Amino acid sequence: MTIEQMRHTVPAAAALGLLLLAAPSYAQTDGSSTKEPNMTIAQVPLTGPPLASVTLRGAAEDQSIRPFHFRASDEALADLRRRIAATQWPDKETVADATQGVQLATMEKLARYWLTGYDWRKAEARLNALPQFITQIDGLDIHFIHVRSKHKNAMPMIITHGWPGSIMEQLKIIGPLTDPTAFGGKAEDAFDVVIPSMPGYGFSGKPTSTGWGPARIAGAWDVLMKRLGYTRYVAQGGDWGAVVTEQMGLQAPPGLLGIHVNMPGIFPNDIDAAAFSGAPTPSGLSDDEKVAYERLRFVYQKGIAYGFQMGLRPQTLYGIADSPVGLAAYFLDHDARSYELIARVFDGQSEGLTRDDILDNITVTWLTNTALSGARLYWEYWGKGYFNAKGVSIPVAVSVFPDELYPAPRSWTERAFPKLIFYNKLPKGGHFAAWEQPAFLVQDLRDGLRSLRSTDRASQ
């Protein structure tokens, strides 16, 4: 279902209230209303700063920027609960650990809380308190959060989420980035933040033809930033967000000052190929390189079954579009360390994530029916290399979290990024850094990109 199909009438007063709340920097030109049973969207075309008429493929298209508001229908939430309650459960795994996959006990606890304790309306309110918009790029509706800092000379930054993810991953870092003085920072640390939903994910449109891979998304993000009036900016990402952000670095569009990634593609091609084949650890590696190699080999051999499935046959995954518990289990099985953390959360332990964090993210995908449209991104990029060095030549900052899929060694990081301006190993955190350890990531973004602020001012 496309965004155009997901529409519902919005009273004029409510639409105006949303406009005043979410879009103080744009001028309203006209209004429209639409209908769909599962959500409410306020879409008011707006005018922005004067911009060059540029799209990825050169075709003229509507460049308006429209406010966005989401409300799941009561019927959709009741159907979600009905499906959870009607889950047909499998037998318990025959081992005492997670080597066969997501454990039955964890899923039963998740389902019980999802059914009896979880409140989607709280997550919905958090989203709708933020300025959200829709704009069309290369024929596809792109949804994004756009929060401008109150501080002068804030650095514009576009942040890309990953899989199994959504914009929910980044909500915790918006306040500290845009209003640093309220979170222990200085005014000169401020960022304007743009957080888009990737094509096929969350509230963005679903591609109806092939071609929306990371390189095309990277080009679309540059169009988006310039459409918002930003001529100079930085980009950040982890997971797929790192792949997209590194593609932006490869494309190096005018105005992209540099990038920050927390899952850097750093492996030399021969090392990456050896890990993929399951070969023994090569001789001559440093201790840090050995750890990174062995962790990557484990990912390829034991930890990325979902990647093979989605990379080769994403359309076969009808089960995760039909069963909320099936979707949740599939999302929990991203990587061993993240799963261990999530299992502890549902055992009642205090971690960087909460039960609500985890279910907010899954519920967005369920309510927008984007499990398969998101999965196709793996098919689009299959065989092109997730973790190998790409050849980025613009300035790059890197954060290394200890429970990432692999801890990137400084040696390979420096080889992969000849203009490495920042490298930092954090004491705690894993793959979903913005979600799990927002304070560490925010500080690294402040420190890691600070030198580009002086570069930007000197060039103006």
Active site residues: 239, 378, 431
- The DSSP symbol for 384 reads S
Got the DSSP string for 173-231? HHHHHH-GGGTT--GGG-EEEEEEPPTTSTTSPPPSSS--SHHHHHHHHHHHHHHTT-S
Backbone angles phi, psi at 312, to 5 degrees: -105, -40
Closest listed residue to residue 205, CA positions, set 61, 381, 333, 308: 61
CA angle 451, 452, 458 (to 5 degrees): 100
Bridge partners (DSSP) of residue 65 are: 135
Bridge partners (DSSP) of residue 233 are: 256
Residue whose entry in the numeric block shows the structure tokens 């999802």: 114
- The DSSP symbol for 183 reads T
Buried b (16+ CB within 10 A) or exposed e, 423-436: beebeebbbbbbbb
CB–CB of 449/260 below 8 Å?
A: yes
